[in-house]
Structure 1
Amino acid sequence: MQAIEILEKLVAFPSVVGQANGAIVEWIRAYVARFTQEVTILPGPEGDRSNLFATIGPKNVPGYVLSGHMDVVPANEPEWSSNPFVLRTQGDRLYGRGTSDMKSFLAAALGALPQLASRQLSQPIHFAFSYDEEAGCRGVPHLIRRLPELCAKPEGAIIGEPSNMRAICAHKGKAAARVEIRGQSGHSSRPDQGLNAIHAMTEILTDAVAGAKRLAFGPFDPAFEPPYSSLQAGTIKGGQAVNIIPDLCAAEFEARAIPGVSPSALLAPIKEKAESLRSRGFQVNWEPMSEYPALSLASDAPLTQLLRELTRQQPLAAVSYGTEAGLYQGAGIDAIICGPGDISRAHRPDEFIHRDELIACQSMIEALGARLSR
């Protein structure tokens, strides 16, 4: 089965983040099982979602991980020119949700599988396909924790996020959290008899805005745009009517951190401010939503050199978006980003991939297999 045919199958699964993914996992398992018995479904704690891990070659020696996520963002935008879950071909473009982010990488890896399986690999190539990456890399930590029982510690992991097939050595880390403030409702004519949750939230927002402004003064890492860590309030919701004292207000905050800075530490002052409201009678609930560390791979690392040779391009120093790569590096496995497509096409109507990008990715994976052959 060619990579384009595989992509057509994968796009047809509406594997939207946060939803059950059994159908796509089972299709991939059945396909991979034609070439290797070393394929394992790894259920997550949610009960209806799973990661998948498979190995081609000797699993008891260090090898390389091909890492990608099976989930996609929703496709509810009215601007789609066709059904987002039906692959549409127009010229050299293949349209559909997930074509760039990032089912084309999965399709390229699976398309390369027959050739990889036909080789006598001296080092293994692992397929690590995760769930709920789009919700802040929630699925892959469970997979990474299981690696010691599945294979020898890998030498490196290639995370196939869209990068125009140019390797990327670094990205920022991220943490997100939701804070809910509960006060006491009442008639707006008697504010003295209630606790206004929105007013309380404005104190947290004021501190967050001030914190964001301070981050712009450093520390700096010139590899990134912007070259500093960032903090923002992304959503806010509260109140029922203008003449009712709002007893509930919730907001979501996000921090993105350059390497060497803890994303959760950037959120700590917001949490501290929220907790301080308890002394005035408010109830406070702080709910971490997601967190992953930054990636920082040295330009002279063996994995960097490997991707330089496989892609025949100089790696890019850094990007500001995040991936699962930081979690692999945090587990002691060197990681790098390299995949087909462009991040600018992701999360938009009429997402697409070029045919030659898909072919180039499959060729890179097959070249990796050739290097690892006996």
Structure 2
Amino acid sequence: MHTHLADTVSLLRDLIAFPTISEVSNLDMIAYLAHRLESHGARVEILHDEIGHKANLFATIGPEVDGGIVLSGHSDVVPVAEQDWATNPFELAETDGRLYGRGTCDMKGFIAAAVAMAPLFAEKVRARPIHFAFTYDEEVGCLGAQALVESLRARGIRPGVAIIGEPTMMRVIEGHKGCYEYTTRFHGEAGHGSAPDRGVNAVEYAVRYVNRLLELAEALRARAPEGSRFDPPWTTINTGSLKGGVAHNVIASNATIEWEMRPVQGADAAFVKDDLRRYCEEMLLPRMRAVCPEASIITEVIGEVDGLEPTTLNEARDILLELTGANGADLVPFGTEAGLFQSYGMSAVVCGPGSIEQAHKPDEYVALDQLQHCLDMLGRLGERIAG
């Protein structure tokens, strides 16, 4: 096994052992990565969240100048509860050229490859810095990346290129939809099920709201931009869950909807939010408050992460096409942190080992040859910016 690949597998084994599902702290994993990078001469910062439970890592190898290249990955993984795994999801298992474990492709494989290449970067990089950006809570709204970008902005640190190593089978991705996630809560008035008119059934009003989401989802099909390369080409809406009520014979006083939309353009997001606001203010709330003046509908923004907009000029895309030998760049329907880096003025691209088809599933894996392709790309990147 090639030295860098062996180091990557060893690193990945350690990273998988940190069960960094989103409700758990990632501090131990961040401290581990910080130590590894510091041992290769990187200048490392650990940036904690407001309560000190999570942290981003931002590290640099090379000169302290603007225009550096960011290698970005998120440290958190999705839960394994109620999934049927053939192996322990937090112990790396190798079978037939595949490495199994939660986070192997999404996206600790890329993080391991990037850190394994730190010695080469320390030796080669002179003309342009390499930055490592490892974030928290991507899976629940890209919270860490939002905080990281604001920190860079506040301190005037201005990298030029961002490579987000989400699993793309090493395809170069220049665009994806946004990801807007919401929780909408309905508060009505409880009562006996035999007299439904004397209460305000929060579940029934939540159902009306979901029906409105379905109508909007259909309307969005007609708003697909001409020539859209996305699949599907329009903005989508998904209702993830509807919860409420306590018993068959009790008017439900509370209900909660968790839903999302994936905009292909900002105007679609505004269209949906404006319609829902009017629908609640003009239709639902007056009927609810005619019975219970304290009735309410409150929507909490879990995360509004802009998509990665394909642009004619994109240095990140051009660099990755050169490094991978690909003939062109693609678009994907899933979201990443790339749009946040783009919003700060960086050119951004998504490219990493493994397939998104394996992400979030039991027996998640990344293939060894995918990790090798990633290492080859990173090696060529180091040579490209050597002084």
In structure 1, the gaps of 5 or more residues are: none
The match for 1:23 among 21, 24, 28 is: 28
What CA deviation, in whole Å up to 9, does each residue of 1:184-224 have, x standing for no partner? 11111122321111222222122211111101112335311
What CA deviation, in whole Å up to 9, does each residue of 1:106-160 have, x standing for no partner? 0000110011111242100100000010112111111111114667411110000
Question: Runs of 4 or more off by more than 3 Å in structure 1?
Answer: 148-152, 259-265, 274-279
Matches within 5 A, 1:109-124: 109-124=114-129
The match for 2:233 among 227, 232, 243 is: 227
Q: What secondary structure does 1:318 align onto?
A: strand
Q: Does 1:318 align with 2:324?
A: no
Rate the CA distance shift 1:267–1:159 in 2: closer, same or farther, 3 A: same
In structure 2, how many angstroms separate the alpha carbons of the residues matched to 1:78 and 1:254?
A: 23
* Residue 257 of structure 1: aligned partner: 263
* Residue 3 of structure 2: aligned partner: none
Residue 260 (structure 1) shift: 4.5
Percent identity between matched residues is: 37
In structure 2, how many angstroms separate the alpha carbons of the residues matched to 1:350 and 1:314?
A: 32
Q: Does 1:295 align with 2:295?
A: no
Is the CA contact (8 Å cut-off) linking 1:169 and 1:316 kept in structure 2?
Answer: yes
Residue 246 (structure 1) shift: 0.9
The match for 2:110 among 101, 105, 108 is: 105
Is the CA contact (8 Å cut-off) linking 2:153 and 2:344 kept in structure 1?
Answer: no
Matches within 5 A, 1:195-210: 195-210=200-215
Residue 265 (structure 1) shift: 4.8
In structure 2, the gaps of 5 or more residues are: 1-5
* Residue 64 of structure 1: aligned partner: 69
Read off the aligned partner of 1:252 and give its amino acid letter: E
Is the CA contact (8 Å cut-off) linking 1:255 and 1:267 kept in structure 2?
Answer: no
* Residue 78 of structure 2: aligned partner: 73
* Residue 141 of structure 1: aligned partner: 146
Is the CA contact (8 Å cut-off) linking 1:64 and 1:155 kept in structure 2?
Answer: yes
Rate the CA distance shift 1:59–1:173 in 2: closer, same or farther, 3 A: same
Read off the aligned partner of 1:90 and give its amino acid letter: T
Residue 262 (structure 1) shift: 5.3
Is the CA contact (8 Å cut-off) linking 2:125 and 2:382 kept in structure 1?
Answer: no
Is the CA contact (8 Å cut-off) linking 1:13 and 1:85 kept in structure 2?
Answer: yes
Q: What secondary structure does 2:116 align onto?
A: helix
In structure 1, how many angstroms separate the alpha carbons of the residues matched to 2:172 and 2:30?
A: 27
Residue 47 (structure 1) shift: 2.5
TM-score, normalised on structure 2? Answer: 0.92
Residue 344 (structure 1) shift: 0.2
In structure 2, how many angstroms separate the alpha carbons of the residues matched to 1:13 and 1:268?
A: 42
Is the CA contact (8 Å cut-off) linking 2:66 and 2:160 kept in structure 1?
Answer: no
Q: What secondary structure does 1:360 align onto?
A: helix
Q: Does 1:334 align with 2:339?
A: no
Q: Does 1:266 align with 2:279?
A: no
| RMSD between superposed Cα atoms in Å | 1.7
Read off the aligned partner of 2:36 and give its amino acid letter: Y
TM-score, normalised on structure 1? Answer: 0.95
Read off the aligned partner of 2:348 and give its amino acid letter: A
Is the CA contact (8 Å cut-off) linking 1:345 and 1:352 kept in structure 2?
Answer: yes
In structure 1, how many angstroms separate the alpha carbons of the residues matched to 2:41 and 2:269?
A: 39
Is the CA contact (8 Å cut-off) linking 1:63 and 1:126 kept in structure 2?
Answer: yes
The range that moved more, 147-156 or 303-312, is: 147-156
